[in-house]
Each structure stands twice: as C-alpha cells, then as structure tokens.
Amino acid sequence: MYGIDDILRAIIADLHIVAAITAAFYLLALVCAVREVMNSRTSQGSIAWILALALLPFPTTLLYLVIGWKAFDDYATDRIRNGRAARPLRAKDLALIDRETSQKWPVQVKVSEVPFLNGNDVELLVDGRATFDSIFEGIAKAKEYLLVQFYIVRDDRLGQELAERLIERANAGVKVYLLYDDIGSTGMPKRYRAELRKAGIKVAGFNQRHKFLRVYGPTRINYRNHRKIVVVDGEHAWVGGHNVGVEYLGENLRFGRWRDTHVRVSGPAALGCALLFREDWEWATGETLPSTPPDTVATPGDQSVLVMGSGPADKLEECAIAFTDIIGRARERLWIVSPYFVPDTDIRTALFAAKLRGVDVRVMLPNEPDHKTVWLASIAHADAMIEHGVSVYRYQDGFLHQKVVLMDDQIATVGSVNFDNRSFAINFEITLWFADGKTVADVEAMLVEDFRLCRQVDMAEVKGRSLPMRFLTQAARLLSPLL
C-alpha cells in the first residue's frame, strides 16, 4: 500500500502536477480579487485581501471563500417574494401605522422597510428565568402555530424542556417550526432533532440548503443567523439576547449570573417578527410558509414598536446606518450595552462627536470574557473611547450579554445586535425599536440598576496596562473586521 509520503513524493516528482495546482490557485485568486474589487465596501479591507491573494494564493483563496465572498442574492430574492416591500401597505390597510413616530425616525423606518406599528403591549424580561418562564407560558397557550428560532440550541436541561414543550404542542395539533444556526448549534445531536421531527415538528438548520464545503459557489460558514425569535400564533413574540442553554439561566459555574435582556411584544409587532422568521425559513428550507395577513389584529396595548431585520443580504450596511443615525441625533445621553464592543471607524467617529457635543456617552461591557479574542479587541476599542472622554463601565455581577441602547428620553432598542462589525455587517440580526415613553422609562430604570453594579474604567487603568497586554489587545484589534 502507498502511504501519504509516497503520494507526496510522486506529486512533487511530477512538476506538471505542481505547476497545474499552482496555476489553479492563482486563477482562483484572480477571480476572488476581481470580485473583491467589484464588491468592495472599504478600501482598506479590499487592499488587504488583494495583496494577500497575490502574494499567498494558498491558503488565502480558501479563506476568502469562507470569510470574504458574500453572496446572498438568493436571500434577497426570497425576501422580495415574501413581500417585505408590501408590509407598510398591509399595515396601512390594517390602520396600525404610527405615522407620527415613523416620520420622526425616517432612517430606521427606511432601513427596516416597515413603519412603527401601534397597539402593542411590551414587557421587558430581565435575565433567563423571567425570559424562559414567559416564553414557555406563551408556548403552552399556542393554538395555531409556533415559530421558534435561536442561534444556539443546546441539548441540556433547558434544551430538553424546550423540546418537551414543543412536542406537547405539536401533539395538540399546533404547527411547530424550529430554526437554528448551524455554527451556533454545532453541538446539537441528531437525536435531538429526530425526537422533534418524530412528533411532527419541522426542524431546520439555517444553512442546510447551502452547504459549507460544497464544490461550487462560496461557502457561508462566516455568515450566521444570530436572531432569537419566538412567535405564538402571530399575536405574541419574544426577542432579545438569550439562547437555549443552562448558562443563560445562570447555571454555569464559570460565568455565574448571566445578565441578559429579552422583551415580549404582544400585538401587531409580533407579525413583523413572524415575517422575518418566514424569510429565514424559506431561504433555509425552500419551503414557503403561509403569509396571508389576518383580517384583524389584536391591539392589547398602546405602545409603538418597529421590527428591524438586518443582515448580509442588505444592499447597504443598514444596521450600522440605523445606529449611526441615533448616535448623531443624541443630545443628552447615549447608553450602549453590549457584550462585544468592536465598532468600525464610522461608529467610533460618531461616538466621539457625540461626546464633544456634551452627550453623556456610556458603554457598558462585561468584566470577564467568554470569547477571548473579541474581549481583547473590545479592551483596545474601549480604551480608545476612554481616551476621548467616553465613559466605559465593566459589569461586576456575573457575565453581561444583553444588547440594549438608550438614546435621550426618545428611543430604546432591545435585540440580538452586538456593537461589532459581525452584527452590523455579517450576521442576520433582529432589533426592536421602542419610542414610547413607558418602554423608554423601563429601559432607563433597568440600566440605572445595571450601572450600579458596574465599576467605571479610568485613565489610570488604561495607562497601567502591561506591555504584553497592550500588544495583545492591539493585535486582536487588527481582526476587528472579522469579529
């Protein structure tokens, strides 16, 4: 039998094979370089890719296919077919548009392609127990359908409880759909999915129709669906930062308390969440879910909500545009809470400008890491914030994972978006925007308590970092476009 050494010697001995392989990589590198020029968003990133492709075609070409080649025209086509552009018309027919608020926040409305909708009841859910108690209570009341989507679904105690509750509803005749991200849920065993499917539940990975290591077209391993959405009968929806795993209940000894925020919305906004799920489901499975709008929509409250879906299928980096707008409009305060803080140049510039206008700009971050590289990069970016007068706080009472923004007394957001390039440009995300006084006040009260449990980072701490630590943080910062 021939061993690997024999095969390698045979290949090297035949220079024609070596030349053919080398030429193939250079040809592929040329294709990638041309595509990068034609689809460039930043000159710095494109120049870096082109130089790497020219000087080191292997393995840069393989990396580019995984990380750099973005192709979601098929997702955009599915979105058009699902009628996202018709959503405002549908809402108008149902007389649910909050025109005054929509006119006040035109950037967010145009980015989302939907207006603010009136008639919602909103409840902030602080930490995992409150979140999953509320979600499970809602699941138990489902009568027609359940749409469940998480980035991470673990086969642990919480994951099993979710499965049991979904199976119970499926046995009661409710149509149940579960969508998970293939990268986030890599540890999900086939047995878990098989149990759900046996009960009649439809289960899909986001990339199951778009394989990572296929021989044609780009891979999509770098593009994840980071949304967390649960919708019950199109009447109630849950959105926020929690995934399905016992650590989100604070039961992981490494992290202790897991500080996170979800939100329940009951009313017209739930339909917006359902439509986002429908787009993701069709792209993942090729199956079109029923989308006939109801004749009437319950309006259990008086709060206005905008549902914003964002992702790499957007023509522009619309998530970044929406957040840059509110940073620029801030006049009194801008409080940002995120576990990962890796802003791009535009966001950094907007934050610095807000501080120079006299805005109370605060950034709340975790004190301890869960992902070391992102944490190191976050330190470098946070230190730059402090040097420009922005206040940075480190949360002390466990691990901070919530994604919340509060601007003046005007608007607040809760969703899945982290303040980093991955959330703004690479991942599929969801953000709920609230412009009513009650929800904004509730978010303020929640964050005031969170800041009480933080320590503020000062210049002495920044200047006191050791040389190796400064080197590591700056080195990690170089990876910011990928984090």
Each residue of 204-232: pLDDT tens digit?
Answer: 998 877 665 444 444 566 778 999 999 99
- pLDDT, residue 382, reads 92
Q: What angle do CA 346, 310, 203 make, to 5 degrees?
A: 145
Per-residue burial over 247-286, b if 16 or more Cβ lie within 10 Å, else e, is bbbbbbeebebbbbbbbbbbbbbbbbbbbbbbbbbbbbbe
Question: Yes or no: is domain 318-482 CATH 3.30.830.10?
Answer: no
Low-confidence ranges of the chain (pLDDT < 70): 1-16, 18, 40-45, 48, 66-94, 210-221, 291-293, 295, 481-483
- Could you give the residue numbers annotated as active site? 226, 228, 233, 401, 403, 408
Q: Nearest Cα to 306, choosing from 267, 260, 261? A: 267
Q: Please state the separation of Cα 119 from the chain's center in Å.
A: 26
- pLDDT, residue 54, reads 80
- pLDDT, residue 217, reads 44
- pLDDT, residue 119, reads 94
pLDDT tens digit sequence for 92-148: 566 788 999 999 999 999 999 889 999 999 999 999 999 999 999 999 999 999 999
Task: State the Cα–Cα distance between residues 444 and 438, nearest whole angstrom.
Answer: 10
3-state helix, strand, coil in the chain (%, to 5): 50, 20, 30
Helix/strand/coil for 89? helix
Task: State the Cα–Cα distance between residues 248 and 258, nearest whole angstrom.
Answer: 6
* The CATH number of the domain covering residues in 73-102+121-301: 3.30.870.10
CATH 3.30.870.10 domain position(s) in the chain: 73-102+121-301, 318-482
- pLDDT, residue 139, reads 98
- pLDDT, residue 1, reads 55
